[in-house]
Structure 1
Amino acid sequence: MGVLMSEPVLYIVATPIGNLADLSARAQEVLGSVDYIAAEDTRYSGRLLAHFTIKAPMISVHDHNERQRSEHIINLLAAGHSIALVSDAGTPLISDPGFHLVRAVREAGYRVSPVPGCCAFVAALSASGLPSDRFQFIGFLPAKSGARLQTLKPYAAHTETLIFYESTHRIVDSLAAMAEAFGGERYAVVARELTKTFETIHGDTLQNLLEWIQADSNQQRGEFVVLVHGAPASEQGDQIDPEAERILHILAKEMPPKKAAGLAAEITGEKKNRLYQLLIQ
């Protein structure tokens, strides 16, 4: 039996990424107790809720209507109702809608409470064998090849693990672009269909991963997380991260080189002396 909600709250509820047994007991209790459930795709989430015999009325909240629906949801909270936000799979807002809604609800003075659970990129990272002390989640890459390569290239010198989401239709093209941007010898891991029947976690160089996935159409199906090993420090040499260099040059227009280098170092984590040397050269 669900708990009674004593105040209007927007709950951010993580749902399974494949295996329905991963829906936590607390998530089931919250979903069974709220007055409304806001879902990215009501038909998709409806199947999950039906499996757990949860019957709360649903509100559609997706990329194209989120700003308009935020007002409606705030009105429901104002009337004393509690609402749960779910996405199609995993944690809402992570490469999914919900940011505008959460911000609007918080600005309106209502409580937003997370109900944690599955997140595909965290699950993939935990099982990848790649360094997990520092990582950057980038999410989905642009659909067009030129924009995809342009997005990837600035990350080539990053030393942290890089994490991407990809779909069935673009996984081959994305791996090819990563091999071009980072070099075919860079080690990476492809995590496919996590927690589902055909779960695959396979690591190799980007070039070998590309050839492996091209040779087996079955491995091109499903939802993908691609994790790329950061550039080794030895590979970086004297290279400075392009974003750090961009920030440095912006600051140098407004202040002396030493001050610009110090501030840029504070913002980016690069070494102050390296930035200063770059400016005076």
Structure 2
Amino acid sequence: MTTVPPERQKILGLVKGKLPPDEVLIRELKLGKGKKFTLVGTPMGQELKELSEYESPDVFNDLDLDITTEAAAIEAFAKDRRNIRKVKEATAKLKLEVMNPPREGKRLLVLDLDYTILDTKPLTSGSLPPSECARPGLHAFLEAVYPHYDIVIWSQTHWMWLEAKLVELEMVGSDKNYKISFVLDKSPMFTVFSTRDGQPFKHHVKPLQIIWSKFPHWSAKNTIHIDDLSRNFALNPGSGLKIHAFKNAHTEQAMQDRELEKLSRYLVLLAGVDDFRNVNHKDWKKALQ
């Protein structure tokens, strides 16, 4: 038996495609002999343990820094011997499970999860249903950009909770007019040393070179990384686009959020650019005026 209450239970790997309604009985699913699936969820009384044990501290640390656009500083950071070694080690260790193969000619959209397209706290605590934790317009956004981009989710969390969040948000395992190519969790991330307010600042990064090494048809020329924390693309500042964090999903202000609608229009425009390296994403909203 389990101490996970029914409203927090998430069953992964039970069926492929669209999830059956809650009222369907297990015997009606016609599962094969020896079928295995995973039940995940937070047991009663362990809500805080879930966050402290599986989530990276950086997920909840919203102290950010301005990533320099100075060419010399960017080059020096990228050529740092420690950073190069860390990228190679992370690439060698990475084992990708591709859910939907890359499509020919599509650009790459690397999308953060927590506080970029999801208010994480009410989802993990169960205080709000998943649909109310998603940033407004999430599925419309993904459907709008999918004709132009293959979509990769990169979250600073444990893979088990990453998968559970995607299922609850109906981004996987349901019928939508978009598909997620693959997901990355916190495993390939590593720490670097930047400067914040004149002081050394240690933080994690999402090095895109890890993906580019696995899929050479993608590069800085055709990749865009969306995140609410610019420090996450410190090794690839030219490929990063920062949007404001989505929090307090239960409030009227949050429900009026239109960031993803604007972002979808920008990404569709960007898809027509031959080389993304020629575009400064810092003032992306001005391109919509």
Q: TM exceeds 0.5? A: no
TM-score under structure 2 length normalisation: 0.21
Q: Which has the larger radius of gyration?
A: 1
Of Structure 1 and Structure 2, the greater helix share is in 1
Query: Higher relative CO (CA 8 A, sep ≥ 6), structure 1 or 2?
Result: 2
TM-score (norm 1): 0.21
